[in-house]
Amino acid sequence: SPLIRAPSQQLGPDYRPTEEKPTATVSTAPKINNLHILNQTPQLIALLTMIRDINTGRADFIFHSNRISRLLVEEALNHLPVLPHTVNTPVAGRTYAGVKFEGKICGVSIMRAGEAMEQALRECCRSVRIGKILIQRDEETSKPRLFYDKLPEDIKDRWVLLLDPMLATGGSALMAVDVLRSKGVPEDHILFLNLIASPEGVQNFADKFPKVRVVTAFVDEGLNDKNYIVPGLGDFGDRFFTL
Ligand code: URA
């Protein structure tokens, strides 16, 4: 498929005059139900610029990708249902009409790279349960194969935040959703969080699991012949865990 050029856009608040706004490449915006792309703010674009840079070392890669993961978790949590909840404040006789989250959640990371997003989830949801799924390409068939899973036993009663930083073809993530579905998790209780997605990946997801919400920071131009996302950031797991 032909690569889609990502558009350029001026970044910054409306009150700032045009000549003071830098121009940057922002996410493409495929019109797909249940695809949620983070607002292309100057902060987010600066964080993405940092982790895409070939000259960014491991410590900075970890720090800045953690910040993007935090933004993704915060956005995903906004998609969960809340109930009205009124509290008494310490100020005499005054109440505040607010809300509280009504369900149980858990994280599921697709090993190894998805584990890089666990810290952000723990920072937002204290003592959250986190399961793991290991899917790898079978050497003989070159299809993704499930090697290992360890999931909360009551996962079917939870909202699941599925974590994998790069949505390339979607092969592993689609298999991970199959595993969750086989444990009884409703499709519309799954949110798939990733930092960078390809147009092919989000389309594959929409075709197979239209009710899974995909929350991403950026939809890139496409995939190269090795199924790396372009322009992308290279191998996320290598840059986070080893390089
Ligand atoms: N996984 C990565 O780490 N990078 C890509 O570009 C695609 C999949």
Task: Assess whether the C-beta atom of 229 lies below 6 angstroms from ligand 1.
Answer: yes
pLDDT class of 2 with cuts at 50, 70, 90:
low
Task: Assess whether the C-beta atom of 236 lies below 6 angstroms from ligand 1.
Answer: yes
The active-site residue out of 14, 89, 126, 141 is 141
Task: Assess whether the C-beta atom of 159 lies below 6 angstroms from ligand 1.
Answer: no
Task: Assess whether the C-beta atom of 118 lies below 6 angstroms from ligand 1.
Answer: no
The residue nearest atom 4 of ligand 1, judged by CA position, is 235
Question: Which tens digit of pLDDT belongs to each residue from 169-206?
Answer: 999 999 999 999 999 999 999 999 999 999 999 999 99
Task: Assess whether the C-beta atom of 168 lies below 6 angstroms from ligand 1.
Answer: yes
pLDDT class of 137 with cuts at 50, 70, 90:
confident
Has 235 been annotated as catalytic?
yes
The active-site residue out of 53, 138, 188, 238 is 238
Evaluate whether 156 touches 179 at the Cβ level (below 8 Å).
no
Angle at 146 between CA 191 and CA 238, to 5 degrees: 75
Question: Which tens digit of pLDDT belongs to each residue from 28-76?
Answer: 999 999 999 999 999 999 999 999 999 999 999 999 999 999 999 999 9
d(CA 188, CA 190) in angstroms, rounded, equals 5
Which domains are seen in the chain, by residue range? 10-242 (3.40.50.2020)
Best residue among 3, 166, 204, 242 to mutate for probing ligand 1, ranked by most atoms within 8 Å of CB: 166
Has 238 been annotated as catalytic?
yes
d(CA 170, CA 124) in angstroms, rounded, equals 26
Evaluate whether 174 touches 202 at the Cβ level (below 8 Å).
no
Nearest to 6 by CA among 231, 236, 235, 171: 231
Per-residue confidence (pLDDT) for residue 139, from 0 to 100: 78
Q: With 60 as the cut, is the pLDDT of residue 1 above it? A: no
Token pair 């899917």 in the structure block, residue: 135
Question: Which tens digit of pLDDT belongs to each residue from 65-116?
Answer: 999 999 999 999 999 999 999 999 999 999 999 999 989 999 999 999 999 9
Has 149 been annotated as catalytic?
no
Task: Assess whether the C-beta atom of 232 lies below 6 angstroms from ligand 1.
Answer: yes
Has 137 been annotated as catalytic?
yes
Question: 9 CA distance to ligand 1 centroid (A)?
Answer: 25
